[in-house]
Chains A and B, each alone.
Chain A
Amino acid sequence: MNNHSGIIDLNVNGKIYTIKVKNNWSLLDVLRDELGLTGTKRGCDEGECGACTVLINGKPTLSCLILAVAAQGQEILTIEGLSENGELHPIQQSFVDLGAIQCGLCTPGMILSAKALLDSNPHPTEEEVRAAINGNLCRCTGYAKIVEAIMAVVGKTG
Chain B
Amino acid sequence: MILKEFDYLAPQTVAEAVSLLETYKDEAELIAGGTDLLVMMRKGALAPKYIVDIKPISSLDYVKWDEKEGLTIGALTKVSTIVNSDVIKEKCFSLYEAAESFGTTQIRNMATIGGNICRSAPDADLVPPLLVFDAELKLMGPRGERTVLLENFITGAGENILNNEILTQIKISVQKRPHGTAYKKLGRLSEDLAIVNCAVGIIVTDNKCEDVRIALGAVAPTAVRAKKVEQSLKGREINSKVIEDATKRVTEDIAPRTKFEYKVYTSKMLIKGLINEAVTRLGGSA
Contacts and interface: CB of A to CB of B under 8 A. Distances in A.
A66 interface: yes
Interface stretch (A53-61, A77-85, A88-96, A97-105): A53-61
A69 B53 CA distance: 10
B110 A62 contact: yes
Given A45-B42, A70-B55, A53 B106 contact: yes
B35 A65 contact: yes
A135 B51 contact: no
Q: Determine the interface band of chain B, counting residues with CB < 8 A from chain A.
A: 20 to 34
A64 B106 CA distance: 11
B10 interface: yes
Interface string B188-230: 0011000000000000000000000000000000000000000
B104 A50 contact: yes
A24 interface: yes
Nearest to A132: B105
Q: Is the interface of A mostly helix, strand, loop or mixed?
A: mixed
B53 A70 contact: yes
B172 to A, nearest CB: 26
Interface in B6-26: 6-10
B36 to A, nearest CB: 9
B195 to A, nearest CB: 18
14 contacts: A1-B10, A2-B8, A4-B7, A24-B4, A26-B3, A26-B38, A29-B2, A45-B1, A46-B43, A61-B109, A64-B38, A70-B31, A135-B104, A135-B106
Given A4-B5, A22-B5, A59-B109, 14 more contacts: A2-B7, A23-B6, A29-B2, A45-B42, A46-B1, A46-B39, A60-B105, A61-B110, A65-B34, A66-B34, A67-B8, A67-B31, A69-B8, A70-B10
